[in-house]
C-alpha cells in the first residue's frame, strides 16, 4: 500500500523537483514496492503524453486582429496606477496636495480679477489717449507690452516703427495720432506673470500634456475567486486603504443570497439581524436589494466572510452569487445608511483607541460611566457579540421606519464602540443577471 507521503514523493519525482536525498528515497521506494513502481511509471507516462501534445499554430492573422482591436479600443496608452499600489507616503502627499487646492483656487481667482481689472483700465486709457484708427494687435493689444515707453520718450505715430520685426504688408500703417494735450500718460504696472494652472486657468491658455493620470479601479471579482489566496491577499490590502467600504454582491436570488450570507456570517462569528419586514419581502421576491451593515468586522474577517460565502456558494448548482464589486464608501453611502438606519453610523469617524483610556490618573468621564452602565444593564443579546443589520434599501415608503424595527434596535443595543481595526462595511445583496 502506497502512503500519502510516498505519493507526494512520486509526483514530485515526475515533476523533476526532488532534492538529492528525496531522489534517493524515491529510488529506494521504487525498488522495494512494485505497486509504487507501476504507479510511478504511469504518472511518468501521463506527463510524457502531455508533453508530446502537438504544438499548434496560432490562427493566421491573429497579430493583425490584436493590433486592430488595440487601434479601435485604445487610442493611446493611459498610465494606470492600480489601487493597491499607492503607499502610505503617496496618500500623505495626496492629502497635503488636497489641503492646498482651496488656496490655489483662491490665488487663481485673485489673479484673474487683477488681470481683468488691469485689462479694463488699460483699454479705457488707450481709447482716451489714442482715438485714431487702431491696429488690431490681438491679445498683445490688450495687455501692456514689454516695450512700454517711459514718460519722457516721445510717442511714435507708427506703433511698429521701432519694432525689430515689422508687421506684414496686410497691416496698414497707423496714421499719426493727434497730440494728446492736457492728458498725462501714466505707466501701468507690470502684470504679474501668468501661468496656466490645473485648477483654474485662462481660456485659451495652452496646457502641457498630462504626465500622469491616476485611475482607481474598483474591485470587481467573481465571488468564486475569493477562495484564491492571491485574490484574498489583494482584497485584504484594498480594505486597508480606506476607512469604509461598500461591497455589492450580485445574486441570482436575493432571498437565497441573504440566507447564504447569514449562514456564512454565522460561521465567522457575525450574527446578522434581519429586519422582519425585510425578510418577508425578500422571501416574496419583492426586494431588489438588501443592505447588510456592520462596523464590527476587521479586514481579515471580511475577507474570510467572502471566502466562506464562496465555499458555500460552490456547493450549489447553479451558483447563487456572481460578481463582487467593492468600492470605498462615499458620502452617498453615508447618506443612504443614515436614511436606512435612522442615524448616522459615522462611516468615516476614527474609532476611539484604547490608549486614551489607559491614563488611570484621569477621572472617569460621564461617557465612560454611561458605556459601563450600558454594558452591564443591556439584556438584549450579548454585548461582545458581533452583529450586522439587514434592511431593505428601497425608498422609505416601502420599508419599515427605523424606529419600528425591533432588529435594528437590537443591533444598536449590541453595537457598542467600534474597535480600532474594524472597518465599517455595507454589503448590498442585489439582483444580478440570471
Partner 1 sequence: MSDDDRRLIALSLGGNRDAYGELVSRYQTRLYNAAIRLVEHPEDAADVVQDAFLNAYQSLQTFKGEAEFFTWLYRIAFNTAISLKRRKRTTVSLDSAASEGTIEPLDCSEYVRPGAALEQGEEEMQLQAALSRLSPEHREVLVLKDIEGMKYEQIADILGVPIGTIRSRLHRARLELRELLKTDED
Residues that bind partner 1 (CB under 8 A): 7-8, 11-12, 14-15, 17, 39, 42-43, 46-47, 49-51, 53-60, 62-63, 65-67, 69-71, 73-74, 76-82, 222, 224-225, 228-230, 233, 317, 433-434
DSSP string, 10-62: HHHHHHT---HHHHHHHHHHHHH-HHHHHHHHHHHHHHHHHHTSPPPPPPTTH
Q: What are phi and psi of 290, to 5 degrees?
A: -120, 135
Closest CB 47 distance from partner 1, rounded Å: 5
By beta-carbon proximity to partner 1, the closer residue of 15 and 385 is 15
By beta-carbon proximity to partner 1, the closer residue of 54 and 172 is 54
Angstrom distance (rounded) from CA 72 to CA 65:
10
Closest CB 18 distance from partner 1, rounded Å: 11
Closest CB 428 distance from partner 1, rounded Å: 21
Angstrom distance (rounded) from CA 423 to CA 240:
9
Closest CB 364 distance from partner 1, rounded Å: 49
By beta-carbon proximity to partner 1, the closer residue of 81 and 142 is 81
Q: Is residue 83 a contact partner of residue 238, using CB atoms and an 8 Å limit?
A: yes
Q: Where are the beta strands (DSSP E) in 256-379?
A: 270-274, 289-294, 321-328
By beta-carbon proximity to partner 1, the closer residue of 5 and 280 is 5
Q: What are phi and psi of 221, to 5 degrees?
A: -135, 145
Closest CB 26 distance from partner 1, rounded Å: 14
Angstrom distance (rounded) from CA 266 to CA 313:
15
Angstrom distance (rounded) from CA 246 to CA 393:
13
Closest CB 251 distance from partner 1, rounded Å: 14
By beta-carbon proximity to partner 1, the closer residue of 224 and 419 is 224
- C-alpha atoms less than 13 angstroms from C-alpha of 85 in its C-beta half-sphere: 8
By beta-carbon proximity to partner 1, the closer residue of 83 and 334 is 83
By beta-carbon proximity to partner 1, the closer residue of 11 and 338 is 11
Closest CB 98 distance from partner 1, rounded Å: 24
Amino acid at each position: 500500500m502506497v502512503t500519502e507521503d510516498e505519493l507526494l514523493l512520486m509526483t514530485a519525482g515526475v515533476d523533476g523537483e526532488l532534492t538529492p536525498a528525496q531522489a534517493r528515497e524515491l529510488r529506494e521506494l521504487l525498488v522495494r514496492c512494485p505497486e509504487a513502481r507501476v504507479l510511478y511509471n504511469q504518472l511518468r507516462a501521463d506527463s510524457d503524453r502531455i508533453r508530446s501534445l502537438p504544438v499548434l499554430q496560432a490562427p493566421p492573422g491573429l497579430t493583425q486582429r490584436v493590433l486592430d482591436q488595440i487601434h479601435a479600443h485604445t487610442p493611446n496608452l493611459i498610465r494606470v496606477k492600480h489601487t493597491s499600489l499607492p503607499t502610505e507616503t503617496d496618500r500623505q502627499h495626496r492629502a497635503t496636495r488636497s489641503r492646498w487646492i482651496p488656496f490655489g483656487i483662491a490665488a487663481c481667482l485673485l489673479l484673474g480679477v487683477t488681470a481683468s481689472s488691469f485689462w479694463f483700465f488699460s483699454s479705457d486709457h488707450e481709447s482716451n489717449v489714442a482715438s485714431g484708427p487702431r491696429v488690431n494687435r490681438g491679445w498683445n493689444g490688450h495687455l501692456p507690452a514689454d516695450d512700454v515707453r517711459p514718460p519722457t520718450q516721445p510717442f511714435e505715430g507708427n506703433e511698429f516703427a521701432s519694432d525689430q520685426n515689422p508687421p506684414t504688408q496686410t497691416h496698414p500703417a497707423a496714421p499719426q495720432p493727434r497730440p494728446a494735450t492736457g492728458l498725462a500718460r501714466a505707466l501701468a504696472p507690470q502684470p504679474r506673470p501668468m501661468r496656466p494652472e490645473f485648477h483654474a486657468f485662462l481660456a485659451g491658455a495652452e496646457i502641457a500634456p498630462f504626465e500622469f493620470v491616476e485611475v482607481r479601479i474598483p474591485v470587481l471579482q467573481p465571488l468564486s475567486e475569493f477562495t484564491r489566496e492571491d485574490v484574498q491577499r489583494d482584497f485584504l490590502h484594498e480594505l486597508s486603504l480606506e476607512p469604509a467600504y461598500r461591497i455589492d454582491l450580485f445574486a441570482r436570488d436575493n432571498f437565497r443570497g441573504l440566507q447564504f450570507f447569514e449562514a456564512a456570517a454565522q460561521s465567522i462569528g457575525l450574527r446578522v439581524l434581519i429586519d422582519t419586514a425585510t425578510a418577508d419581502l425578500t422571501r416574496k421576491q419583492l426586494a431588489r436589494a438588501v443592505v447588510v451593515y456592520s462596523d464590527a468586522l476587521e479586514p481579515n474577517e471580511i475577507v474570510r466572510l467572502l471566502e466562506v460565502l464562496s465555499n458555500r456558494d460552490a456547493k450549489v448548482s447553479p451558483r447563487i452569487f456572481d460578481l463582487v464589486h467593492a468600492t470605498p464608501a462615499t458620502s452617498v453611502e453615508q447618506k443612504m445608511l443614515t436614511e436606512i438606519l435612522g442615524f448616522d453610523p459615522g462611516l468615516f469617524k476614527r474609532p476611539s483607541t484604547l490608549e486614551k483610556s489607559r491614563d488611570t490618573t484621569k477621572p472617569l468621564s460621564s461617557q465612560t460611566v454611561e458605556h459601563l452602565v450600558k454594558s452591564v444593564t443591556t439584556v438584549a443579546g450579548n454585548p461582545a457579540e458581533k452583529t450586522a443589520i439587514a434592511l431593505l434599501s428601497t425608498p422609505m415608503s416601502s420599508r419599515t421606519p427605523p424606529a419600528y424595527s425591533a432588529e435594528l434596535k437590537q443591533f444598536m443595543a449590541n453595537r457598542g464602540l467600534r474597535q480600532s481595526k474594524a472597518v465599517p462595511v455595507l454589503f448590498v445583496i442585489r439582483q444580478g443577471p440570471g
